[in-house]
Amino acid sequence: MAQYGGTKLSRFRKPRSVRLEELGRVSIYGLLVSGLVTGCGPADSTLETVQTNDAAIRPAAAPGASPATAVAPAKTPVYTYEIVHTWPHDRKAFTQGLVFLNGRLFESTGLYGSSSLRKVELATGRVLKETPLPAQYFAEGLAALDGKLFQLTWQNQKAFVYDLHTFALERDFPYQGEGWGLATDGQWLILSDGTPQIRFLDPATFELKRVINVIDHGQLIGHLNELEYIKGEIFANVWRTDYVVRIDPVTGSVLGLVNFAGLLPPADYTQTTDVLNGIAYDAVGDRLFVTGKCWPKLFEVRLKAQ
């Protein structure tokens, strides 16, 4: 068994979701267990502007944080969701990266011996094109930029670049550390590695351009997983929880917290059902899609204030 952050990992997959109270290393815990106001109303768009909560959220400052950061006002917006539409999703797809582009979903699936790159029909969940990865690779995040698909691997420190239309492998790039989530702002590739850091990389060379630390009121937020860039914000799954954080890509500050608890009905769970993971955004239709690893459904959702 490999070790990562004090948690034992099998060579086949990261461990499944645990209760938030058990997830001591996820520093966002201090934020989530604070009292939050209740009540919500319908949203006019996917990313509704909401009033912030009034809870006193003041976790201890991260080492080296400035006094101004440590005592920032407790006004982190909190969101819940409503389901707009439910689409079929391949229950065997261990979703690691998800992109919506040109009316299709592009998906990176993980696990050793089962990792793949896929093009998927939204309406049916049918796989239209698929390229398997060699068995030694555990695929992770995915991003589309300038006619290319960029796919991370978990522990091989290698990213693959494919032609968007043919899936032909064009090249690969090395990077340091683990690969978790990947997104793009249209200029840079945005990479998470399971730590509070998010890296911005040159898509032509994979050269590191800058790094932000994700922080909320002095508290570093770790276990950042699948990423999506939406209307000037980075959305990131917090691994092994039902939560997604909304991040300022310039400062790393947490702009909001989305609670997706209960999204997949209990009746849809089996022994293979794993954690929430997979965020895709349709910029043309202003639609937000969310799914999970080995989930039989993909959800179009609209965010609203909690």
Q: How far apart are CA 258 and CA 235, in angstroms?
A: 9
Classify 68 as helix, strand or coil.
helix
Predicted confidence at residue 241, as pLDDT, reads 93
Token match 């939050």: residue? Answer: 36
What structural domains and CATH numbers belong to the chain?
2-10+17-305 (2.40.128.630)
Encoded tokens for 288: 């937000």
Q: How far apart are CA 219 and CA 119, in angstroms?
A: 38
Predicted confidence at residue 301, as pLDDT, reads 97
- Give the containing element (helix H, strand E) for 29: helix 29-32
Predicted confidence at residue 75, as pLDDT, reads 78
**Alpha-carbon dihedral of residues 164, 207, 5, 34, nearest 10 degrees?**
-80
Instruction: Going residue by residue through the chain, which has 306 residues, state the pLDDT in tens, using 9 for 90 and above.
Output: 233 333 323 334 544 443 333 333 333 444 443 332 222 233 333 433 333 332 222 233 333 333 333 333 367 889 999 999 999 999 999 999 999 999 999 999 999 999 999 999 999 999 999 999 999 999 999 999 999 999 999 999 999 999 999 999 999 999 999 999 999 999 999 999 999 999 999 999 999 999 999 999 889 999 999 999 999 999 999 999 999 999 999 999 999 999 999 999 999 999 999 999 999 999 999 999 999 999 999 999 999 988
Half-sphere CA count of 58, side-chain side, radius 13 A: 8
Cα–chain center distance at 298:
14
Predicted confidence at residue 74, as pLDDT, reads 60
pTM above 0.95, yes or no: no
Q: What are phi and psi of 136, to 5 degrees?
A: -80, -5
- Helix intervals (H) in 157-267: none
CA end-to-end span of the chain: 40
Q: How far apart are CA 168 and CA 171, in angstroms?
A: 9
Predicted confidence at residue 306, as pLDDT, reads 83
